[in-house]
Structure 1
Amino acid sequence: MDLLNLGQLVNSYLVPFGLKVGIAIVIWVVGGIAINTIVKIMRRVLTARALEPTLVNYATSAAHVALRVLLIMAILEICGIPTTSFAALIGAVGVAIGVAWSGLLSNFAAGIFLVMLRPFKVGDYINAAGQTGTVTQIGLFVTTMLTDNNVRVIIGNNKLFSDTITNYSANPVRRADLRCQIAYGVDPAQAIALLLARVRAIPNVLDNPAPGVAILEFNASGTMLAIRVNALTANFGQVYNDTNNAIAETCAAAGWPAPATYQVSVAPAAVPPAVPARS
């Protein structure tokens, strides 16, 4: 009887359970290989479409996690474990995580939009959230910038996305606008000719659009001249600094006096003598 009961127990419970475990292991291995293959193909397709690398990582990671969850639920169904309670548990955990990590999730969502809308990319020189520098990394939750004084700044994506973003690297050409104040007695036409000739000789200044010097205004110190030069974005810093130096050198070489503010004093009007009243 004992052997008979043992055989019935093995045939009724252990063998079916062993088969289910074996099938689950096979499905896990085969499903894992299939998931890895699908993710690799997805990465190749997205990369071939020249999408942002960060967006490719987001998409492939999300697809990998989602497929793994579906694989686990399929294995649980095969083993006879109901997945309804499991799905409800996942939903409850998701709600709890969403409430506790609302700030992080907002940064995550902003990071997705930054990658999809692409207001800037890694290597761009931008101004945003009160910081100016070169973008070195666009992460899931934060963006890293390197400022001009070699300081690494980490900004939450939500703050970065909700602020005004100025991308200095978006266009291939940038224009530098500078001013030169000349004093009274200096011929504006001569000053324009000298400055224009000197500015054209600066390396990396573009001929198209051509540099320009014009009168901006007349003020109490004399004449204000406006100097405009264009350069490739990569050469903008050098051209901007060299143009400032060129203005100073031209003024010194021409011997122009330093501008001074002149004030004209107006004498008060004379009061007419009072007319005596007639009697």
Structure 2
Amino acid sequence: MNLDPNQVTTYANTFINVLIDYSPKLISAFVILFVGLYAVRLINRFIRRVMIKRNLEPTLTNFLADLLLWVLRVILFVSFISKLGIETSSFVAILGAMGLAVGLSLQGSLSNFAGGMLIILFKPIKVGDFIEAQGVSGTVNEIQIFVTKLITTNNQTIFIPNGSLSNGNIINYSMEQIRRADLTIAISYATNIKEAIEIIKVVLKSNPKVLQTPAADVSVKNLTDSAIQIAVRPWATNEDFWTMYAETLQNCKEAFDEAGIRIQPFVTESSYTHKSLE
């Protein structure tokens, strides 16, 4: 194929003329792009600092900052292609169609996303709370956008989808500053009930981890076929709860041993019936 030198020259001149005419738009578009990227980073850092100073939740701070970052990037990209002379209306329509398709295919994920937003905004739980939900319990380690991460007492990691978490029952043991223990101590029918109750009250008063206000409740809970059940309900701070729980049981057992009071062992209905038949 033979090329005509005059035709090549014409094409080259046309290309140079178009480049010269288009170069201001090209230069200004890239200036907007680079300056915009730098400005977006500055704005994002500034917003993060403001939210941190306002003591917002770390999860909410990170999410809002990341969301703002991507929104500004999309606006910057649309401005960039618009400056190049590309029609943006069709581009926006394509983005909308893509967003609808992605939304329909990720309905479950969107439900978890909405649940995460509800948890972050209304704060039924926060990082560090000990909760029980969806049949599991543990300390909230991280509230992500789609899942909430729990660490159990035996150091296992559990991820709960935020959609299920936000729509189900949540027991938050850490929301209040103090917590009540519900203990049951069974004694034999040969025991003096008043004496046993007084011993338990002395044990509770001698434990500094048991709060005196509100006062602990010690009363007869139930009379079973094999034992008298005494309800022991002391209060403690969340920090001292489990230590107080264990110490109360141990101290009551030791005090009963000194007083000669026998704690009635648990007797099942089948074993009790079998013993009676013998």
Please tell me the TM-score bracket, short chain as reference.
0.7 to 0.9
Q: Quote the Cα distance in structure 2 between the aligned partners of 1:232 and 1:73.
A: 55
| Corresponding pairs, count | 263
Report what 1:275 is aligned to: none
Deviation per CA, 1:159-195: give whole Å up to 9, x if none. Answer: 1112111111111111112122333342222222111
Query: Do the aligned partners of 1:138 and 1:144 also contact (CA within 8 Å) in 2?
Result: yes
Choose from 161, 173, 177 the match for 1:172: 177
Choose from 119, 122, 125 the match for 1:114: 119
Query: Do the aligned partners of 2:185 and 2:263 also contact (CA within 8 Å) in 1?
Result: no
Q: Which amino acid aligns with 1:170?
A: M
Query: Do the aligned partners of 2:132 and 2:138 also contact (CA within 8 Å) in 1?
Result: yes
Q: Report how far residue 24 of structure 1 moved.
A: 0.8
Please give the residue correspondences for 1:148-159 in structure 2 after superposition, counting only pairs within 5 Å.
148-159=153-164
Please give the residue correspondences for 1:160-239 in structure 2 after superposition, counting only pairs within 5 Å.
160-221=165-226, 223-239=228-244
Q: Does 1:254 align with 2:254?
A: no
Q: Does 1:243 align with 2:248?
A: yes
Q: Does 1:45 align with 2:50?
A: yes
Q: Quote the Cα distance in structure 2 between the aligned partners of 1:199 and 1:137.
A: 36
Q: Does 1:99 align with 2:92?
A: no
Deviation per CA, 1:217-249: give whole Å up to 9, x if none. Answer: 445446432212111101101111111112222
Query: Do the aligned partners of 2:199 and 2:256 also contact (CA within 8 Å) in 1?
Result: no
Q: Quote the Cα distance in structure 1 between the aligned partners of 2:89 and 2:211.
A: 68
Task: Check 1:258–1:39 CA distance in 2 against 1; reply closer, same or farther (3 A cut).
Answer: closer
Q: Quote the Cα distance in structure 2 between the aligned partners of 1:60 and 1:31.
A: 17
Report what 1:70 is aligned to: 75
Greater shift, 230-239 or 147-156, is seen at 147-156
In the superposition, the TM-score normalised over structure 2's length comes to 0.86
* Identical positions, percent: 35
Query: Do the aligned partners of 1:110 and 1:161 also contact (CA within 8 Å) in 2?
Result: yes
Query: Do the aligned partners of 1:200 and 1:211 also contact (CA within 8 Å) in 2?
Result: no
Q: Quote the Cα distance in structure 2 between the aligned partners of 1:216 and 1:6.
A: 100
Q: Report how far residue 110 of structure 1 moved.
A: 1.0
Q: Which amino acid aligns with 1:100?
A: S
Report what 2:3 is aligned to: none
Q: Which amino acid aligns with 2:233?
A: R
Q: Quote the Cα distance in structure 2 between the aligned partners of 1:59 and 1:239.
A: 41
Residue aligned with 2:215, SS: coil
Deviation per CA, 1:28-63: give whole Å up to 9, x if none. Answer: 111112211221221122222211111111111111
Q: Quote the Cα distance in structure 2 between the aligned partners of 1:180 and 1:4.
A: 103
Choose from 132, 137, 145 the match for 1:127: 132
Q: Which amino acid aligns with 1:215?
A: V
Residue aligned with 1:145, SS: strand
| Structure 2 gap segments, 5+ residues each | 1-5, 274-278
Task: Check 1:201–1:3 CA distance in 2 against 1; reply closer, same or farther (3 A cut).
Answer: same
Residue aligned with 2:158, SS: strand
Q: Report how far residue 257 of structure 1 moved.
A: 4.3
Report what 1:266 is aligned to: none
Q: Quote the Cα distance in structure 2 between the aligned partners of 1:85 and 1:222.
A: 80
In the superposition, the TM-score normalised over structure 1's length comes to 0.86
Q: What RMSD, in angstroms, separates the aligned Cα atoms of the two structures?
A: 2.5
Residue aligned with 1:234, SS: coil
Larger radius of gyration: 1
Task: Check 1:206–1:257 CA distance in 2 against 1; reply closer, same or farther (3 A cut).
Answer: closer
Residue aligned with 2:175, SS: coil
Q: Quote the Cα distance in structure 1 between the aligned partners of 2:190 and 2:12.
A: 118
